[in-house]
């Protein structure tokens, strides 16, 4: 009888070990899939902007939150938020009060909504270039940091475009304000730059 109880206990323990191992394997697989690197496209991402991004941008350096904070505290870099601005929904009755949530970004940032789109019409492209030139004082070696939210292709597109235009110290803060806020770092309300689309 004691022998049967011991072997039953051993069977239960073996099953528990097996289940723990399977659960751990599942979590490792799930975590690995979530952190998988998206392939670097040939041109710019033109749709599905909130999706896993590559780990790097051609012509730019990727910042994690620790490096982003250090660069921000050091000063001298131009920080550009490219998150699109919220617009009044089409078809909303005129007498309906509509108040978009304010955008909170990294302190000192210039907010250039829409410039991270994959395709820019000539007016938006000129506005982006003009603001980039003005913000850097025309110095293409001045550090420029592009960000949005985590898993946001718009900041990836904007960083790639700035590098293609000849800016030589382009940074991409991949985790954007999601990573910044998760680290408990300060934010401030941002207003779109004049002439925003």
> In angstroms, what is the C-alpha Rg of the chain?
23
Q: Which two tokens stand for residue 21?
A: 């191992």
Q: Which two tokens stand for residue 155?
A: 């900041």
pLDDT tens profile 67-95: 999 999 999 999 999 999 877 778 878 88
**pTM, rounded to two decimals:** 0.79
Element (H, E) at 171: strand 170-173
Query: What pairs with residue 146 in β-bridges?
Result: 80, 172
Q: What percent of the chain has pLDDT over 70?
A: 81
Q: How many CA atoms lie within 13 A of 139 on its CB side?
A: 11
- Report how far residue 173's alpha carbon sits from residue 177's, in angstroms, rounded to the nearest whole number: 9
- Report how far residue 180's alpha carbon sits from residue 51's, in angstroms, rounded to the nearest whole number: 19
Does the pLDDT at position 6 exceed 80? no
- Report how far residue 50's alpha carbon sits from residue 29's, in angstroms, rounded to the nearest whole number: 22
pLDDT, position 11: 55
Does the pLDDT at position 117 exceed 70? yes
């Amino acid at each position: 009888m004691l022998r049967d109880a011991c072997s039953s206990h051993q069977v239960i323990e073996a099953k528990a070990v097996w289940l723990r191992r399977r659960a751990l394997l599942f979590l490792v697989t799930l975590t690995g899939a979530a952190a998988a690197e998206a392939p670097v496209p040939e041109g710019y991402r033109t749709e599905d902007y909130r999706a896993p991004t590559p780990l790097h941008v051609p012509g730019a350096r990727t910042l994690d939150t620790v490096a982003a904070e250090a660069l921000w505290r050091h000063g001298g870099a131009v920080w550009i938020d490219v998150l699109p601005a919220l617009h009044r929904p089409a078809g909303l009755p005129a007498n309906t009060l509509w108040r978009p949530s304010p955008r909170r970004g990294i302190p000192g940032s210039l907010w250039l909504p829409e410039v991270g789109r994959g395709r820019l019409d000539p007016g938006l492209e000129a506005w982006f270039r003009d603001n980039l030139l003005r913000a850097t004082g025309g110095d293409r070696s001045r550090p420029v940091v592009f960000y949005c939210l985590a898993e946001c292709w718009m900041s990836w597109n904007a960083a790639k475009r700035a590098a293609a235009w000849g800016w030589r110290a382009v940074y991409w803060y991949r985790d954007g304000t999601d990573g910044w806020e998760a680290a408990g770092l300060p934010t401030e309300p941002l207003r779109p730059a004049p002439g925003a689309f």
